[in-house]
């Protein structure tokens, strides 16, 4: 049986990344993308990708909401950037 295509993080937000997601997992991805995007202006995406050992396209896809970030990528980016990207646990309303 073929696997159904799952929605991307951007699919779960009416106006990615400026409006909250309709699902908790989408909201975590949105907040993570915003944190990642906020750190990039101080460095080039290529430089961050090189330091973190991840593909430049992966970073761009996370920020654009077209790809779900995996745990390995999140950890590598956090270590390379020296910042926490994971937003932590959300409350029942989907807020930090």
pLDDT of residue 1: 60
Alpha helices in 11-93 (DSSP H): 24-39, 45-52, 56-64, 71-81
Quick one: average pLDDT of 74-85?
A: 96
- The structural domain count of the chain equals 1
Neighbour tally for 13: CB within 10 Å: 21
pLDDT of residue 80: 95
Could you tell me if residue 57 is inside a domain? yes
Could you tell me if residue 95 is inside a domain? no
Name which of 17-26, 42-51, 75-84, 86-95 the model is least confident about.
Answer: 86-95
Could you tell me if residue 1 is inside a domain? no
Q: Indicate the DSSP class of residue 47.
A: H
pLDDT band at residue 43 using 50, 70 and 90 as cut-offs: confident
Could you tell me if residue 49 is inside a domain? yes
Quick one: average pLDDT of 60-84?
A: 97
pLDDT band at residue 2 using 50, 70 and 90 as cut-offs: low
CA atoms of 9 and 27, how far apart (whole Å) = 8
Could you tell me if residue 17 is inside a domain? no
Could you tell me if residue 60 is inside a domain? yes
Quick one: average pLDDT of 21-43?
A: 93
pLDDT of residue 14: 93
Range(s) of the domain holding residue 59: 44-81
Q: Indicate the DSSP class of residue 67.
A: S
């Amino acid at each position: 049986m073929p696997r159904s295509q799952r929605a991307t993080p951007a699919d779960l937000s009416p106006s990615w990344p400026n409006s909250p997601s309709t699902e908790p997992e989408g909201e975590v991805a949105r907040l993570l993308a915003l944190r990642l995007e906020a750190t990039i202006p101080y460095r080039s995406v290529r430089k961050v990708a090189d330091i973190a050992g991840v593909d430049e396209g992966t970073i761009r896809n996370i920020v654009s909401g077209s790809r779900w970030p995996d745990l390995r990528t999140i950890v590598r980016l956090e270590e390379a950037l020296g910042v926490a990207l994971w937003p932590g646990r959300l409350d029942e309303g989907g807020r930090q």
